[in-house]
Amino acid sequence: MTAVLELRGVSKTYRDGAEAVYALREADLTVEPGQMVAVMGPSGSGKSTLLTLAGALETPTGGEVLVAGRPLSSMSRDDRARLRRRVIGYVFQDFNLLPGLTAAENVALPLELDGLPAGKARAAGLDALAQLGLADRASRFPDQLSGGERQRVAIARAVVGERRLVLADEPTGALDSATGESVMRLILTACRAGVGAVVVTHDAQLASWADRIVFIRDGSIVDRTTPRTGPESLLPEETAR
């Protein structure tokens, strides 16, 4: 089985005047299809750097990133752009929905940018919205949606089409705990359908939903645990087995 994401000794150094800032140090990480990996760590530890490198949004200063088995460094700029449009879905904390487009148009946008005819892109967008329980919100603009609904639209946009890797940077950070849980549930649903996901979160309870938790400190991945608890740990005691 080809991993959807593989980081091999990946480093990222930024120049701050004469000083070098090590945002990420020789990070190794493998995400298999269907897996959700949670990333936890203090502010400034390199979590967003990890995601931007995994998402081909930045180039590492050392090591190699492979997406769906293909090393990014051996791909042309056009190939990387295609990968970002087709294979990788991004969810950011501030949603990044375009205010002038409806929910359905926001979700269909990556497919349209990828050259899919408008009708087909719209159908796929509506399908993704329906899967996230938002069929009746399709024609609304972002400012007519609640925070939780906006985040669900952002997730629909990240999984629309045939995405294989979803990268989410604190997708639950601005949400109340019930909405945060539903966001995690939606990403997990995508994983159960075969997508690999990397989710940055500060919430240990939400992280425990993941198949694996990775901790980052000062740019280094310092620990990996296999949580003993799963989603059932969030159920009331009497229904948990």
Residues in contact with ligand ADP, total (CB under 6 A)? 12
CA distance 241 to 137: 36
Site string for Mg ion, 96-125 (x = CB under 5 A): ------------------------------
Q: Of 47 and 157, which CB lies nearer to Mg ion in the complex structure?
A: 47
Q: Contact between 213 and ligand ADP (CB under 6 A)? A: no
Q: Of 24 and 186, which CB lies nearer to ligand ADP in the complex structure?
A: 24
Closest CA to 131 of 100, 109, 113, 158: 158
Provide the minimum distance between the beta carbon of 167 and ligand ADP in the complex, in angstroms, as a whole number: 12
CA distance 141 to 144: 5
User: What's the DSSP call for residue 115?
Assistant: T
Out of 45, 151, 172, 208, name the contact with ligand ADP by CB under 6 A. Answer: 45
Provide the minimum distance between the beta carbon of 50 and ligand ADP in the complex, in angstroms, as a whole number: 7
Q: Taking a C-beta distance cutoff of 8 angstroms, is the pair 69, 90 a contact?
A: no
User: In 123-132, which positions are buried (b, 16+ CB within 10 angstroms) versus exposed (e)?
Assistant: ebbbebbebb
Out of 11, 35, 48, 52, name the contact with Mg ion by CB under 5 A. Answer: 48
Q: Contact between 201 and Mg ion (CB under 5 A)? A: no
